Amino acid sequence: MVGAARRITALTGAGVSTASGIPDFRGPNGVWTKDPTAQRLSDIDSYLADPQVRVDAWRSRAEHPVWAAEPNPAHRAFADLAASGRLGSLLTQNIDELHQRGGLDRDQVLELHGSMLRVVCLDCGAASSMRSVLRRVAEGETDPPCPHCGGIQKSATISFGQALDADVLRAARRAALDCDLFLAAGTSLTVQPAAAFAELAVKAGARLVVCNAEPTPYDELADAVLRGPLDEVLPALAAVPPAEHAAP
Ligand code: NAD
Ligand code: ZN
């Protein structure tokens, strides 16, 4: 199926980064499975209302495994699919930038939920790097205000209660409509609107392949479901030669 595909749109979730040492949210060792209260750090109303939530959020960013993480074979498999000319866009719910570091062009990756390596001021919109803000935290500021307007800053990620970026959504929708294979990998397909792109692609005539360790609500819609570890499954998929070059 992957061999016959000419234009793949992918959707990835936290499962592609677990082999890089970044836990998912809802898997057996997920951050929220182990500590459901951690969700409050990702809620925009608590973030704005409660200074302690912001202090905890910066501390949790500083301790995040992303700083030691390297792309794994699952990330590199997408770069291989792109190099063979088959991968168009990759929609990701991940905020770790490991797809870009794993070899995909920046404009090929649609970050549906933003990036935790960037920071944005919620008042004036000024952008900065997470590294620079965490340096201020290490120097003793518990909730560093925006250097331009003094406003509240937050990682450039989409929290519960925040709208997704309209341009990114538009591009993601276009990519879902414009593919012959939609490859969902490492996502529980329970967060909307991300998961709905799989259905949109199928309605537009694409085949759907789901690669995930656990069942998802979209498995029944899929033409194939692969359950193995992604750092093995995805390299094997990317190694399937394109049909026109395959042996007869
Ligand atoms: P999720 O935790 O809901 O689902 C991840 C799925 O991946 C699970 O069903 C799990 O069974 C599967 N999985 C985990 N490791 C796997 C492996 N090695 N091989 C095969 N399958 C594996 O994650 P989601 O669907 O991405 O949920 C979305 C939310 O989680 C998003 O909002 C995203 O921003 C956030 N998130 C991002 C990161 C990251 O950037 N790496 C990490 C945790 C959570
Ligand atoms: Zn500002």
pLDDT reported for residue 27: 67
pLDDT reported for residue 211: 98
Is 113 within 8 Å of 156 (Cβ atoms)?
A: no
pLDDT reported for residue 66: 97
pLDDT reported for residue 244: 64
Closest Cα to atom 39 of ligand 1: 94
The Cα–Cα gap between 14 and 23 comes to: 7
The answer to whether the peptide bond before residue 248 is cis (omega within 30 degrees of 0) is no
The sign of the CA dihedral 201, 207, 209, 214 is: positive
The string of DSSP letters for 109-164 reads: EEETTEEEEEEEETTT--EEEHHHHHHHHHTT-SSPPPTTT---EEEEE--BT-PP
pLDDT reported for residue 131: 97
Structure tokens given for 235: 């390299």
Q: 12 by DSSP, 3-state: which?
A: strand
Ligand nearest to C-alpha 124: 2
Q: What is the pTM of this model?
A: 0.93
Is 124 within 8 Å of 148 (Cβ atoms)?
A: yes
Residues serving a catalytic function are 113
Angle at 121 between CA 120 and CA 123, to 5 degrees: 145
Looking at residue 13, what DSSP letter applies?
Answer: -
Alpha-carbon dihedral of residues 96, 143, 126, 68, nearest 10 degrees? -20
The Cα–Cα gap between 115 and 92 comes to: 10
pLDDT reported for residue 242: 84
Is 77 within 8 Å of 235 (Cβ atoms)?
A: yes
The Cα–Cα gap between 95 and 159 comes to: 11
Ligand 1 binding site (Cβ under 6 Å of any ligand atom): 13-15, 17-19, 22, 24-27, 30, 93-96, 113, 186-188, 190-191, 212-214, 229-230
| Average pLDDT for runs of 10 along the chain of length 248 | 90 98 80 69 92 95 96 98 97 98 97 98 98 98 97 96 96 98 97 93 98 97 97 96 62
pLDDT reported for residue 32: 65
pLDDT reported for residue 15: 97
Each residue of 24-57: b (16+ CB within 10 Å) or e? bbbbeebbeeeeeeeeebbbeebbeeeeebbebb
pLDDT reported for residue 134: 98
Taking the centre of ligand 2 as the mean of its atom positions, its distance from the CA of residue 144, in whole angstroms, is: 11
Phi-psi region of 182 (alpha: psi -120 to 50; beta: other; left: phi over 0): beta
pLDDT reported for residue 41: 77
CB neighbours of residue 158 within 10 Å: 20
Taking the centre of ligand 1 as the mean of its atom positions, its distance from the CA of residue 158, in whole angstroms, is: 15
Taking the centre of ligand 2 as the mean of its atom positions, its distance from the CA of residue 131, in whole angstroms, is: 17
Q: Where are the beta strands (DSSP E) in 18-152?
A: 87-92, 109-111, 114-121, 127-129
pLDDT reported for residue 247: 44
CB neighbours of residue 203 within 10 Å: 11
**Mutation to probe ligand 1, out of 18, 25, 101 (largest number of atoms < 8 A from CB):** 25
Ligand nearest to C-alpha 198: 1
pLDDT reported for residue 246: 47
